[in-house]
Amino acid sequence: MTPQDASAGAGQGRWSSLDRPPLNASALTKALVTPDGLWTSLEVVAATGSTNSDLAARAAELPEGAVLVAEEQTAGRGRLDRSWVAPARSGLFFSVLLKPGADVPQERWGWLPLLAGVATSAGLSRGAGVDTALKWPNDLLVNVEGEERKAGGILAERVEDGVVLGIGLNVTLTEDELPVPAAGSLALAKAAVTDREPLLKAVLRSLEEWYGRWRDAAGDPADSGLQEAYAAGCATLGRHVRADLPGGRELTGTAEAVDADGRLVIRTADDAREAVGAGDVVHLRSVR
């Protein structure tokens, strides 16, 4: 799906608001695209179906480090083909193209969505002054009046010679605009900063830092510090969880660790341990 004309989408619909100014692509490019940096291009479109789909379709012709940002996504996707819908200019909806190449064995590329979670959480801590937590594998949680809510998510898709990482983050959504009651936003979590430009810069700079560290370590999650950082920020660990697995199987137990392959290790009631690499995890209650 190709980006719609810039005159359409953001700023034209019922969600238009002076409190949600458009992103300044020129200023963002000047700040983020540097000769020695990871980011090689940055494009902002008013509206599109999915930034992940658009970037994946062009991945073969683009160098590593391309960034595509949409003011509005009309067919945004999360994990397990769930839709991601939000008012125009109410959040950050963007995708980046990474090509680790021969520097990192492909069996370690599965760490990229977890890396993006760590980097986004760190960037928001610095840029927004808000604490976030990670729900395995790659949901971003915020605290809204004592309640744990999802404010963002990450979707990784393989392309021919790399990975497209999509990040969606609710920034200024109000309670009335939330797609589901369990959702949240930075504004509802009382973030100190909700200006999207400094937030986007903070997240992309953090992502560049963590990706460089991981790549320099040949993708080793322990040597790069990624495995430790993910475990430290993961709200799933120590919790009683239910994993809804492919094929309709359910696994219930305590989430104990994230292993070297990025899988969630669950200890069941009979003291067996099983590593879960795919599926949907539900936090049932804390056992602490």
Q: What is the mean pLDDT of each run of 10 residues along the chain (288 residues)?
A: 37 54 98 97 97 97 98 70 78 98 95 98 97 95 96 96 97 94 96 98 98 98 98 97 92 97 97 93 73
Q: So what's the pLDDT on residue 57?
A: 97
Pairing of strands 66-70, 41-45: parallel
Q: So what's the pLDDT on residue 153?
A: 94
Count the domains in the chain: 2
Q: So what's the pLDDT on residue 159?
A: 97
Q: So what's the pLDDT on residue 150?
A: 96
Is 2 part of a structural domain of the chain?
Answer: no
Q: So what's the pLDDT on residue 217?
A: 98
Do 165 and 210 have their domain in common?
yes
Give the number of C-alpha atoms closer than 13 A to the C-alpha of residue 124, restricted to the C-beta side. Answer: 31
Q: So what's the pLDDT on residue 85?
A: 75
Is 211 part of a structural domain of the chain?
Answer: yes
CA angle in degrees (0–180, nearest 5) for 274-275-278: 125
The answer to whether residues 196 and 86 touch, using CB atoms and an 8 Å cutoff, is no
Q: So what's the pLDDT on residue 279?
A: 85
Q: What is the CATH number of the domain that holds 193?
A: 3.30.930.10
Range of the domain at 253: 237-286
Q: How much is the pTM?
A: 0.90
Do 281 and 148 have their domain in common?
no
Q: So what's the pLDDT on residue 14?
A: 42
Helix, coil or strand: residue 248: helix
* Greatest Cα pair distance in the chain: 60
Q: What is the rounded distance in angstroms from the CA atom of residue 65 to the CA atom of residue 147? A: 36
Do 144 and 111 have their domain in common?
yes
